[in-house]
Amino acid sequence: MRSILVHADSDAASEGRLQVALDCARRFEGHVSLLIATPPMLAGDLALTASVPVLALPQDSKALDFDKPALIAWNGSPEAAHAVRAAVPFLKDRPVVIVTIGGDEGDFAAEEAARYLSRHGIHAELRAIERGVETPEERIEKEADALGAGLIVMGAFGRSRLRETIFGGATQYLVTGGRYPLLLAH
């Protein structure tokens, strides 16, 4: 994680994004570049179009706490696997919990993700959550609350704008209204 690109504009969260990028650059001995997007993009849109991971921050973020636990929202998809690989530098030296909601739906079991992380010296606890009346994104946020998480790692999923508008989605929900920093990869 040596090259860090920061979305810089004049919104209220810009200073916090820049500070977090500088903190990450110091921690990982990296470099920061600024991107001014016209028209502005949401982090979720950027995560779907970029071939690199995207760190999306809540509006009021001023720092990224590397000591708080990380929650990995796991559904067994290739996107989730990409996010876990990208998150390795962020997961070292902190508690990590892999959360599945209603079981793995994709090609990769949560145990495989835990095994992959163990090869990098990261011990991850597996936690299977039953699907309830809440949406998956609400369950993810509820688990992050209970964990006291400082980061949520997840795959970024894209659907048509119409479907996203009508039904919503975990990526959109957590990027636009979430309270936790997100590491997204597509």
From CA 109, how far away is CA 92, in angstroms rounded? 21
From CA 39, how far away is CA 141, in angstroms rounded? 29
**What mean pLDDT comes out for the span 75-79?**
91
**Terminal CA-CA length for the chain:** 17
Q: Write down the pLDDT at residue 107.
A: 85
Q: Write down the pLDDT at residue 25.
A: 95
pLDDT, tens only, 135-164: 888 899 999 999 999 999 998 865 544 334
DSSP string, 92-111: TTS-EEEEEESS--SSS-HH
Q: Give residue 170's pLDDT band: very low, low, confident or very high (50, 70, 90).
A: confident
Q: Give residue 106's pLDDT band: very low, low, confident or very high (50, 70, 90).
A: confident
Per-residue DSSP letter, 121: T
Per-residue DSSP letter, 134: S
Q: Write down the pLDDT at residue 43.
A: 63
Q: Give residue 98's pLDDT band: very low, low, confident or very high (50, 70, 90).
A: very high
pLDDT, tens only, 19-48: 999 999 999 999 999 887 766 557 656 666
**Out of 8-12, 35-39, 65-69, 133-137, which region has the weakest mean confidence (pLDDT)?**
35-39
Q: Please indicate whether residue 51 or residue 180 has the higher confidence score (pLDDT).
A: 180
By three-state DSSP, how is residue 27 classified? helix
Single pTM value for the model: 0.83
Q: Write down the pLDDT at residue 158.
A: 55
Strands 31-35 and 54-56: unpaired
